[in-house]
Chains A and B, each alone.
Chain A
Amino acid sequence: MRYQQLFEVKRDNNQLAYIPFVLLGDPTADLSLAIIDKLVESGADGLELGFAFSDPVADGPVIQQASLRPLANQFSVKDGFNEIAAIRAKYPNLPLGLLTYANLVFAQGINEFYKQASQAGLDSVLIADCPVQERALFSGSADNHSIESVFIAPPDANDETLQLIAQNSQGYTYVLSRKGITGTEVAANQASSDFIRKLRDYGSAPLVQGFGISEPEHVYQAAEVGVDGIITGSAIVKLINQHYNKPQDMFDAIGHYAQTMANAAHQAHDKRKEGLINVDSRNNQATAVGYGTAS
């Protein structure tokens, strides 16, 4: 329900939702909570939270490197759910999603995992290595505990798969900007309007675009093609990788960056209307006129 409310409000205000991703317990349990506060204060409309996993096949080098910290600190799944419960207590209306890998869900006992997720106050779970075709193993338990199951729509999925994703993804559908793994090394592509239209036609939940989105330009492209929100993951995690030994520098960098991206998401449609952004879809290039970009 929180996602539905969020996207209704955003649509009414002609804004994109900004949903940053961070790993739970990174760089430490306490600092992680402070980072969350910083993100919310800087304009995040929801959060995507990750459990560190030993074998993150969907992740690029930035998140792989970050994952080593919670693992080295023995930050457990239970610790993660405790952190989520603390975030929920503080932000009762903020949509909270979990991004995890199948084995972490499986190892707890699938039903038990979703029970804990629900008790902690999560809204959704996205399993990075569970395609919509394999949903049966998890979806019953998710439904029983009122956790929304989010699926990923890749740019070159066939119509049959897109339909399956649109029908099954709850809360929102995670739209991929490009192939590959998470990371800022390869920038986002503008999604094709055909792809977006198909997902809408099949009745998809709101569309949130991620993978390779690290600059306001990418947000303007996403706005142009008509998605409902954007996710940045590796861009923020990279700042944690760079500054985790100097917490104040880390908070400043994250605050500045998150604010820039939140502003881009919230103002993209207005700026387009005012002619302040020229999006050249042929070259997938967007340029903001008179708008500062992050790093």
Chain B
Amino acid sequence: MNTPLSKENNFQYNGAYIGQYGGQFVPQILMPALQQLEKAFEDSLLDADFQQQLNQLLSQYAGRPTPLTECSSFAKTDKVRVFLKREDLLHGGAHKTNQVLAQALLAKRMGKKRIIAETGAGQHGVATALACALLGLDATIYMGAKDIERQAPNVFRMKLMGAKVVAVDNGSGSLKDAINEALRDWAASYDSTHYLLGTAAGPHPFPKMVKTFQKVIGEEAKQQILEQVGQLPDAVIACVGGGSNAIGIFADFINDKDVRLIGVEPAGHGLDSDAHGATLLKGSEGIIHGARTQTLQTTEGQIVESHSVSAGLDYPAVGPEHVHLMKTGRAEYVGITDQEALDAFQELSRTEGIIPALESSHALAYAKKMAITAQRSMNIIVNLSGRGDKDLAHVMELIKHKAVN
């Protein structure tokens, strides 16, 4: 199945595709919007003013660079050192802010005054709301009706910052349906509206664009680990829902073939149960949300609901570049269950005084597993993609019900 790592440009986009994945499988009506966005995005990469404006926002507003923190005891053994890339310290509380600021600037550049976005846990919605408040854009956030109930504090945050939150009742009432609804809005409104997609999935140019605007995570981490230990890490670990924080920290290491890239999918109740969100490990190839990628589906091709304790990983598809990285063997993908993630959530809080997001807790749990079985010395970077404040009520409830120790 796996094609060998032959050409150096194996990991470059070829038009709308990376390998055979990606593309633009959208209704014809949306093609002009995607073409306009692609052009604006490619132009912005060459525009020094745009880059300077973005860098200024990232450093003076969002708080880049974020630190790389070595764990004092979490997952530490005499062989293993674990370093956390602290995206939890970014303004907004998660890595989402990086690319949202960039896309919001792009929207202004295209003369669009209205932003629509989807959100699951609310993190992308919050990031979108803050960027729109800052840049004077009108924000409408589509959110599954079920998620609105589960994530009340984030809904309030969005509203506080002036965004309009629209409940999506149709379908399963969760993230995938919010994406569908945003696409439907966009099909009628793209003249005046930018769809600010929140992850490295969807039709081209979103996967490439989100990767480009998130790769700052890996670039900083690489420089920081070189400063702190004088060599490249042995492994880089990140959780994968749609895959934006993972591709962001992987991107700058893809050509460093000795660095293992490990994506951690939500195994929910277990990879062999029917309640997980492990699209890469347990899904199959398909076409969803504008891209040829991997998805959770029936043999008939109907998309099924995913499950994860963490709303941000609860998505039945994944960015196309991760499929390519998996099929070429460049990255490995593994699963971590709800329970393992909850354990890591509590352990990092206890040992480091850092409360991680439940999403990031999946990556932490895998780092711990690796450390325990390590046969030789190694340095591991974990992308701590977000902070856990948003998860407190949820985890409290789970602990009360003795789902966790």
Residue positions of A touching B, CB distance < 8 A: 53-58, 60-61, 64-65, 71, 76-77, 101-108, 128-134, 137, 151-154, 156-158, 161, 165, 176, 179-181, 186
Main secondary structure of the interface of B (DSSP, over half): mixed
Which residue of A58, A107, A129, A151 contacts B299 across the interface (Cβ within 8 Å)?
A107
Interface string of B16-58 (1 = CB under 8 A from A): 0000000111111111100000000000000000000000000
Q: Which of A128, A130, A165 lies at the interface centre, i.e. has the most chain B CB atoms within 10 A of its CB?
A: A130
B184 at interface (Cβ–Cβ under 8 A)? yes
Determine if A133 and B31 form an interchain contact, defined as CB atoms under 8 angstroms apart.
Answer: yes
Cα A131 to Cα B28 with chains together (Å): 5
Determine if A54 and B171 form an interchain contact, defined as CB atoms under 8 angstroms apart.
Answer: yes
Cα A16 to Cα B181 with chains together (Å): 34
Residues of B within 8 A of A102 (CB): 25, 287
Cα A76 to Cα B30 with chains together (Å): 29
Residues of A within 8 A of B26 (CB): 57, 129, 131
Other CB < 8 Å A-B pairs besides A57-B27, A165-B28, 14 of them?
Answer: A55-B171, A57-B26, A77-B300, A103-B287, A103-B288, A107-B298, A129-B26, A131-B25, A131-B26, A137-B292, A152-B28, A156-B32, A157-B28, A181-B188
A107 and B29 in contact, given A57-B180, A64-B170, A179-B188 (Cβ under 8 angstroms): no
A-B contact pairs, 10 of them (CB 8 A): A60-B184, A61-B170, A102-B25, A103-B286, A103-B303, A104-B300, A104-B302, A106-B292, A132-B28, A180-B187
A154 and B28 in contact, given A53-B302, A103-B287 (Cβ under 8 angstroms): yes
Q: Which residue of B lies closest to A180 (CB)?
A: B188
Determine if B187 and A58 form an interchain contact, defined as CB atoms under 8 angstroms apart.
Answer: yes
Q: Which residue of A lies closest to B286 (CB)?
A: A103
Residue positions of B touching A, CB distance < 8 A: 23-32, 170-171, 176-177, 180, 183-184, 187-188, 190, 285-290, 292, 295, 297-304
Which residue of A56, A105, A133, A181 contacts B24 across the interface (Cβ within 8 Å)?
A133
Determine if B188 and A186 form an interchain contact, defined as CB atoms under 8 angstroms apart.
Answer: yes
Determine if B24 and A134 form an interchain contact, defined as CB atoms under 8 angstroms apart.
Answer: yes
Cα A281 to Cα B177 with chains together (Å): 38
Residues of A within 8 A of B298 (CB): 107
Cα A99 to Cα B69 with chains together (Å): 54
Cα A134 to Cα B26 with chains together (Å): 9
Residues of A within 8 A of B184 (CB): 57-58, 60, 180-181
Determine if A55 and B28 form an interchain contact, defined as CB atoms under 8 angstroms apart.
Answer: no
A161 and B31 in contact, given A54-B302, A106-B285, A134-B25 (Cβ under 8 angstroms): yes
Cα A183 to Cα B64 with chains together (Å): 46
Cα A56 to Cα B26 with chains together (Å): 11
Residues of B within 8 A of A156 (CB): 32
Q: Which residue of A lies closest to B15 (CB)?
A: A133
Smallest CB separation, A213 vs chain B (Å):
16
Q: Which residue of B lies closest to A129 (CB)?
A: B25
Which residue of B29, B183, B288 contacts A154 across the interface (Cβ within 8 Å)?
B29
Cα A129 to Cα B202 with chains together (Å): 12
Cα A133 to Cα B31 with chains together (Å): 9
Q: Which residue of A lies closest to B23 (CB)?
A: A134
Which residue of B24, B28, B176, B286 contacts A107 across the interface (Cβ within 8 Å)?
B286
Q: Which residue of A lies closest to B184 (CB)?
A: A181
Smallest CB separation, A92 vs chain B (Å):
29
Residues of B within 8 A of A176 (CB): 28-29
Q: Which residue of B lies closest to A107 (CB)?
A: B301
Smallest CB separation, B87 vs chain A (Å):
30
Determine if A103 and B27 form an interchain contact, defined as CB atoms under 8 angstroms apart.
Answer: no
Q: Which residue of B lies closest to A100 (CB)?
A: B301
Residues of B within 8 A of A157 (CB): 28, 31-32
Cα A53 to Cα B31 with chains together (Å): 21
Residues of B within 8 A of A58 (CB): 27, 184, 187
Determine if A131 and B303 form an interchain contact, defined as CB atoms under 8 angstroms apart.
Answer: no
